[in-house]
Amino acid sequence: MECAAAVRTPHASHVPAKAHISLPGGGNYTANSTFQANLHRVLSSISDNAPNDSGYYYDTAGTNPDKTDGGLQCIGDFRNCNRCARAATKEITVQCPYNKESAIFYDDCWLRYSNENLSSLIQVEDPTIYFSNTLNVKNPDQFTSVLLELMNRLLVQAALNDPNFFSTGETNSNSETIYARVQCTQDNISRSDCSSCLRSAVFSLSICCYRTKGGTVIKPSCDIRYQTYRFYQSEAIPPSRSSAPPRGISPSNTNSTRAGYLGIKEMLIDCYRTNNSYTFAGQETRSTTTVVAVVVSTVIAAILLTIILIYFYRRRRKATKKKVDGNAKDMEEMGSVESFQFNLKTIQDATNNFCEADKLGEGGFSIVYKGILSDGQEIAVKRLSKNSGQGIEEFKNEVQLVVKLQHRNLVKLLGFCLEGDEKLLIYEFAANKSLDHFLFDPIKCTLLDWERRYNIIGGIARGLLYLHEDSRHKIIHRDLKAGNILLDVQMEPKISDFGMARLFGVDQTEGETCKVVGTYGYMAPEFAMRGKFSVKSDVFSYGVLTLELISGQQNKCFFKSDHSEDLIRYAWRHWEAGTSLELIDPTLKEQYSSSQVIRCIHIGLLCVQEDVDLRPTMTTVVHMLNRDSISLPVPSRPGFFINSREMNIGEKHTAEENQSLLSDQSMSSISNNELSMTALYPR
């Protein structure tokens, strides 16, 4: 059992608050054993010899199987580390008794010991402990963007340039100054591992601490923190104006703090603090800082199951059963889904009457707002245009198709409101917005490492498989793109926006329309040119998405120096040349599985083949992703139809002219448009 205890201590007043979490690890030792004696020697050595200033101290005792390694890391700008060391070496065996692998974290130092060589225990991912301020910022998107820029700058400084793997800095967001600190341990960690650990921590920070004024993420090999007041001693780079409270003031002195273990529902529990020292004897007062409860794997499973059951129970209760006052004809057509209706007043209250500050995004037919229901549940409200005839058709289509779909990789429609002129769709809230928000942003893309991209590729495939074959109806999405892939708090992908979707009969394999919908760059050639769509149209779009996730580039915006090569053509050229890894996003910096990347490129090219019959089904795609032993067929030439010359959206063409234009590859990427075979209309 590995035990990690996080202890929050302000530098000046030294008033600690404790948090503990128990994690799977290296087993236990017994009282009066050889391991305990070796541990005592190591902890005594650290307590007596730790540096007073910043630095790292390491000692070891004994031989296997009773060998003990211990290391103390002082925060880079702290000047009283030996005092922190004495407290940590005393407290770690109290909070984590008889554990062969333990760690304890203070604001000023970290202590860790193990029955394995610490230099071989570099951990850049889990376990992850976090603390977040309960005060929120006014403009979270801008604040987060500025914060991530600062964190990435400090990350580069600490991981690549600073001899102590440490950096602090500050920046401004509107009227507030953001102060941040990053640091890796100095236990023989490589600069590459330090960079990986800090990037993982920054990603965790964007999940646990979104819209909050302060946050800390602790991993065994690194730590990051930010606040809107100055909490460190060293000079920030670059210097700027300061609006910080006095250094002796801690978050636990001024307001409450959330804490948790990523992947587990956060718990708000009072924790203990002591008077003006690092010792933990004589605990007298309580703070509003929170702690993470000690949990074991079986309890985690029970907690998660309970949370899921409560969530679905409470969500169903929120759907109001009142009848709408508005369009009776529309309600009659929607028939059996009336039980999912929300009251308009409920949604107006949840969105502050559709406040501009709560707007998440905007399309041709709708605006999406964030809302909070009276019980605290976060929702996304899609408000369709009041004057669009196309909008009401999209509205009814989306409700009737999606309301009964149940899959972890499909966004969940909680209900709707059709009252007066208002047409509202109420969805579960996706904390991390859409995939394009991360993938095509030069800074935020660094939060998508290969493991997360690979998981997104698999999640989208499973969601499409459900739509095509595993749900009660066969559904063709027809507008699959990065902007319609939402990401939840765990970065799990969820397919959204079913306004253009179509329902197929059990034996139906193909449909045809004179009105082509979707987004150029993702649209299959047979759909764009002839209006023919099938499950293979979605497969083509999935192939484009896969290549975009690998490259970090948009197909519709990807043109090389000759201005005639789109992403699909570029990927195909490198595939034929045997240089497929040239496609990969350079921000991944070789931290990926080459075999996985090449296999995903292979699958992507199979999906974008021009011959519809040669494209795999989503069942086959999921099997290809899950089983490396399955041999993949050789892909044939993709369907090329995107070029750099643009067609004006208002320009009219006949069906034959459209097909000629597309065949000649003179159609550009036109995003978010619905077009007939004779004219183009913006969505």
Measured CA to CA, the distance from residue 100 to residue 117 in angstroms comes to 12
Measured CA to CA, the distance from residue 205 to residue 214 in angstroms comes to 10
DSSP state letters, 76-130: TT-S-HHHHHHHHHHHHHHHSTTBSEEEEE-SSEEEEEESS-GGG---SSS--EE
CB atoms within 10 A of CB 48: 12
- Between the alpha carbon of residue 420 and those of residues 323, 344, 381, the distances in Å are 12, 9, 17
Tokens of 136: 């929120």
Residue 147: which residues within 8 A CB-CB, separation 6 or more? 171, 173, 178, 180, 226
Tokens of 78: 């702290």
Measured CA to CA, the distance from residue 167 to residue 163 in angstroms comes to 10
**Closest by CA position to 500, among listed 606, 619, 368, 363:** 363
Query: Phi-psi region for residue 677, left (φ > 0), alpha (ψ -120 to 50) or beta?
Result: alpha
Q: Is 382 annotated as a binding residue?
A: yes
Active site residues: 479
Residue 580: which residues within 8 A CB-CB, separation 6 or more? 571, 574, 597, 598, 601, 602
CB atoms within 10 A of CB 312: 12
Given the DSSP bridges, would you call strands 502-504 and 413-419 parallel, antiparallel or unpaired? unpaired
- CB of 372 within 8 A of CB of 358? no
| DSSP 8-state code for residue 583 | G
Measured CA to CA, the distance from residue 188 to residue 267 in angstroms comes to 35
Tokens of 555: 């197909």
**Closest by CA position to 29, among listed 105, 86, 114:** 114
Annotated binding-site residues for ATP read: 382
